[in-house]
Structure 1
Amino acid sequence: MVELVIEQRRRDLGGNFEVGRVLPFAKRRMVGPFIFFDHFGPVDLAPGVDRKVDVRPHPHIGLSTVTYLFSGHIMHRDSLGYEQSIRPEEVNWMTAGRGITHSERFEHARAQGDRIHGIQAWVALPEENEEMAPMFSHHGESDIPQWREGGVSGHLIAGTAYGLTAGARTLSPLFYAHLDLDAGASAEIPADHSERAVYIATGALEVDGDRYDAGRMLVLDRGTSRITAAEASTVMVLGGEPLGERFLYWNFVSSSKERLGQAAADWKAGRMKLPDADDEECIPLPDQPAPPAPPMS
Structure 2
Amino acid sequence: MLDIVIEAREAKIAQGFAVKRILPYQLRRMVGPFIFMDHGGPLNMPQGSISSLDVLPHPHIGLSTVSYLFSGNVTHRDSLGIEQVITPGEVNWMTAGKGITHSERFEDPAMLAGGELEMIQTWVALPEKDEENDPSFNNYKPEQLPVFTDTGVWMRLIAGDAYGLKSNVKTHSPMFYLHVVLEKGIHFGLPIGHSERGAYIVKGSAEVNGFIYSAGQLLVFTKGVDPKIVAKEQTTLMMLGGEHLGERYIWWNFVSSRKDRIEQAKEDWKQGRIVLPPMDSKEYVPLPEDKSRPAGSPPPNALS
- TM-score under structure 1 length normalisation: 0.94
Q: Which residue of 2 aligns with 1:62?
A: 62
Q: Equivalences for 1:104-115 in 2 at 5 Å?
A: 104-108=104-108, 111-115=112-116
Q: Equivalences for 1:147-296 in 2 at 5 Å?
A: 147-221=148-222, 222-281=224-283, 285=284, 288-292=285-289
Letter of the 1:114 partner, please give it: G
Q: Equivalences for 1:79-118 in 2 at 5 Å?
A: 79-108=79-108, 111-118=112-119
Does residue 72 (structure 1) correspond to residue 79 (structure 2)? The answer is no
3-state SS of 2:247 partner: coil
Consecutive unaligned residues in structure 1, runs of 5 or more? none
Residue 45 (structure 1) shift: 1.7
CA contact (8 A) 2:189 2:229 kept: yes
Does residue 132 (structure 1) correspond to residue 129 (structure 2)? The answer is no
CA contact (8 A) 1:63 1:96 kept: yes
The 10-residue stretch of structure 1 (61-70 or 272-281) with the greater mean CA deviation from structure 2: 272-281
1:13-65, Cα deviation, whole Å (9 max, x unpaired): 22231100010001100000000000110011233225231011000000000
Consecutive unaligned residues in structure 2, runs of 5 or more? 296-304
3-state SS of 2:265 partner: helix
3-state SS of 2:108 partner: helix
> What is the root-mean-square deviation in Å for CA atoms of aligned residues?
1.6
Q: Equivalences for 1:17-32 in 2 at 5 Å?
A: 17-32=17-32
Q: Which residue of 1 aligns with 2:302?
A: none
Residue 276 (structure 1) shift: 1.4
Distance 2:147 2:248 in 1: 33
**Stretches of 4+ moved more than 6 A in 1?**
293-296
CA contact (8 A) 1:2 1:224 kept: no
1:102-146, Cα deviation, whole Å (9 max, x unpaired): 001110156444211110000000000000000000011232111
Distance 2:185 2:166 in 1: 27
Distance 2:227 2:69 in 1: 26
3-state SS of 2:234 partner: strand
Distance 1:276 1:108 in 2: 21
3-state SS of 1:273 partner: coil
Q: Which residue of 1 aligns with 2:299?
A: none
CA contact (8 A) 1:3 1:219 kept: yes
Distance 1:178 1:231 in 2: 16
Residue 293 (structure 1) shift: 10
Residue 225 (structure 1) shift: 3.9
Distance 2:190 2:45 in 1: 34
3-state SS of 2:269 partner: helix
- Number of equivalent positions: 291
- TM-score under structure 2 length normalisation: 0.92
Distance 1:133 1:113 in 2: 39
CA contact (8 A) 2:209 2:227 kept: no
In structure 2, relative to structure 1, the CA distance for the partners of 1:131 and 1:104 (3 Å cut) is: same
